[in-house]
Amino acid sequence: MVLSVAEKSYLYDSLASKPSIRPDGRLPHQFRPIEIFTNFLPSSDGSSRIIASDGSECIVSIKSKVVDHSIENDLVQVDINVAGERDDSIIVETLSSLMNKVLKSNKGIDTSKLQLTKKYSFKIFIDVLIISSYSYPASLISFSIFSALKATKLPKLVSSFDDLEVEELPMFHDYDLVTLDVNPPLVFVLAIVGDNIFIDPASNETEVANNGLIVTWSNGKVISPIKTLALNDRYINGFNPLLLKNGIKLVEQYGQNIADALENL
């Protein structure tokens, strides 16, 4: 979206003022409302679709496969597809590397939860499809993955856990399913304007942001990766390290609220 000079300076002045005024009147820590649908794809083990109030939309499918974990050590794989973008475009590649980093097995997702027997584990394939997005979609993707994983049910193992002695493939119950019990991290996008910092920037806010931050949150605390993010190509500036601290504090303070909101209800 191209904004006029006057629009940008109006937005910048509003956002940078003290106290700040966001274009839709939100508080610095306030998200735009979202709508979540889960488990609408019977041929996937879990699925979720999030629509944000601006029409941004993300669909996630979770599929699993039984693998020998002594050979295959990456048990989580994220593939991202953005409508209208080539698979090798910059946005797809950066989002893909970010999400793979966030959900890396044993750090983002506890792989012991995926283990079936001494030899075999589930490998989880997370496919992300962005139908439309109007601002940097990292939060949207991570929320969708979070709710899809929370809704994921995998076949129940009926064969024995110890399969090192007797060579056998894992056997599953005909219809009983087990809920996958993982706590995937959440990714937050923050925008810095002047000396203010905001969560979940809308598209017009990203246009005038001096810088952006990606902060990852898991189980009550902020974890890596944390990185800066250029949200536009005109206003980008260095920022006061104090703001990084404020940003982390903001995420620490409200991360749990988001996780609860996505999980419960």
User: Which residues contact other proteins by CB under 8 A?
Assistant: 2-7, 9-11, 13-14, 17, 19, 21-27, 29-44, 49, 53-55, 57, 59, 61, 63, 65, 79, 81, 83-84, 87, 125, 127, 129, 131-132, 254, 257-258, 260-262, 265
Q: Is the Cβ of residue 14 or residue 159 nearer to other proteins in the bound state?
A: 14
User: How near is the Cβ of 86 to other proteins at its closest, in Å?
Assistant: 8
For residue 155, list its beta bridge partners: 177
Q: How far apart are alpha carbons 206 and 250 in whole angstroms? A: 18
Q: Is the Cβ of residue 26 or residue 119 nearer to other proteins in the bound state?
A: 26
Tell me if 191 sits within 8 A of 208, measured CB to CB: no
User: How near is the Cβ of 106 to other proteins at its closest, in Å?
Assistant: 22
CA nearest 154: which of 180, 135, 174? Answer: 180
Written as one letter, the residue type at 108 is: G
Q: Is the Cβ of residue 42 or residue 238 nearer to other proteins in the bound state?
A: 42
User: How near is the Cβ of 44 to other proteins at its closest, in Å?
Assistant: 6
User: How near is the Cβ of 258 to other proteins at its closest, in Å?
Assistant: 6
Q: Is the Cβ of residue 91 or residue 131 nearer to other proteins in the bound state?
A: 131
User: How near is the Cβ of 223 to other proteins at its closest, in Å?
Assistant: 20
* Dihedral sign from CA coordinates of 207, 208, 213, 217: negative
Q: Is the Cβ of residue 202 or residue 244 nearer to other proteins in the bound state?
A: 202
Sheet holding 211-218, edge to edge: 196-199, 186-193, 211-218, 221-229
Q: Is the Cβ of residue 116 or residue 262 nearer to other proteins in the bound state?
A: 262
Written as one letter, the residue type at 53 is: S
Crossing angle between the packed helical segments 241-263 and 138-150, to the nearest 10 degrees: 30
Instruction: Note the helical H segments in the chain.
Output: 5-16, 90-102, 138-150, 203-208, 241-263
User: How near is the Cβ of 4 to other proteins at its closest, in Å?
Assistant: 4
